[in-house]
Amino acid sequence: AQSVSQHNHHVILSEAASLELGCNYSYGGTVNLFWYVQYPGQHLQLLLKYFSGDPLVKGIKGFEAEFIKSKFSFNLRKPSVQWSDTAEYFCAVEDDYKLSFGAGTTVTVRA
Amino acid sequence: KAGVTQTPRYLIKTRGQQVTLSCSPISGHRSVSWYQQTPGQGLQFLFEYFSETQRNKGNFPGRFSGRQFSNSRSEMNVSTLELGDSALYLCASSRGTGTGSYEQYFGPGTRLTVT
């Protein structure tokens, strides 16, 4: 079974700071990788995805993620965060039509 | 395009009762998955249906069941409710096959409270 680890439980940043959230997964085969975001009071939204090809993928709202196969990692980045990026972020791995999620990282951006 | 819709949005039930939750996928999506979200366990996969067939199932007791109809709409049922079943139940839909088949789009969830 897949396991997904997110390195940080809670991250607090100031606006314009850079953000990097770590994600590691356990499965060594071909995987489909995702980052989802849950803004306060809203439902889970797909931020970005990786299926194959260029390991650096770009998503919505200026987010990007890098897939490093040798490290089983799929880290999320944003060069300059805004107050509106305050949310909970989930890394997920798809295997056999099933998403396995990390525990989530709460990101708080201070204005 | 309308998103995934779930009904009801909120539900309060008593221990021992049963409950049925409904999910309507995005138009054209044939796969529906269900997840349970709790503060302690996070997001956990319940099951996935494609063309009325269950393709995968998570590690939940048999009290949790689901089905999918020919129009891709899905229901999940929890029988003999326990306090620990209190959670946000999320439905997600995807194409289920072909390009983009693995991209799951989530609904707002049904908040179930068991008293």
Tens digits of residue pLDDT in A63-94:
999 999 999 999 999 999 999 999 999 999 99
Are β-strands A105-110 and A10-14 bridged in parallel, bridged antiparallel, or unpaired?
parallel
Contacts of B44 (CB under 8 A, 6+ apart): A101, B35, B36, B37, B38, B58, B59, B60
Residues of chain A with Cβ-Cβ distance to B60 below 8 Å are none
Asked if pLDDT for residue A28 goes beyond 80, the answer is no
Mean pLDDT to the nearest integer, B23-30: 95
pLDDT band at A30 (very low <50, low <70, confident <90, very high): confident
Q: Read off the tokens for A58.
A: 């770009």
Residue B100 pLDDT: 62
The answer to whether residue B41 scores a pLDDT higher than 90 is yes
pLDDT tens digits, B56-90:
999 999 999 999 999 999 999 999 999 999 999 99
Q: Could you say which DSSP state residue A70 is in?
A: G
Task: Look at residue B1 and tell me whether its pLDDT is greater than 70.
Answer: no
Min mean pLDDT across A1-5, B9-13, B50-54, B67-71 is at A1-5
Close Cβ partners of B115 (under 8 Å, ≥ 6 residues apart): B12, B13, B14, B15, B83
Using an 8 Å CB-CB cutoff, list chain A residues near B45.
Answer: 98-100
In this prediction, residue B49 carries a pLDDT of 96
Query: Residues near A67 by Cβ (< 8 Å), separated by ≥ 6?
Result: A33, A50, A55, A56, A57, A73, A74
| DSSP state, residue B104 | -
What mean pLDDT, rounded, does chain A reach? 93
Measured CA to CA, the distance from residue B48 to residue B32 in angstroms comes to 6
Question: Are B57 and B65 in contact, with CB atoms under 8 Å apart?
Answer: no
**Contact in structure between A65 and A77 (CB atoms under 8 Å):** yes
Residue to mutate among B6, B26, B104, with most A CBs inside 10 A, is B104
The residue among A49, A95, A111, A40 whose CA lies nearest residue A76 is A49
The model's confidence at residue B101, banded by pLDDT at 50, 70 and 90, is low
- Min Cα distance B47 → chain A (Å) is 8
- Across chain B, mean pLDDT equals 94
Question: What are the backbone dihedrals phi and psi of residue A55, each rounded to the nearest 5 degrees, phi first?
Answer: -70, -10
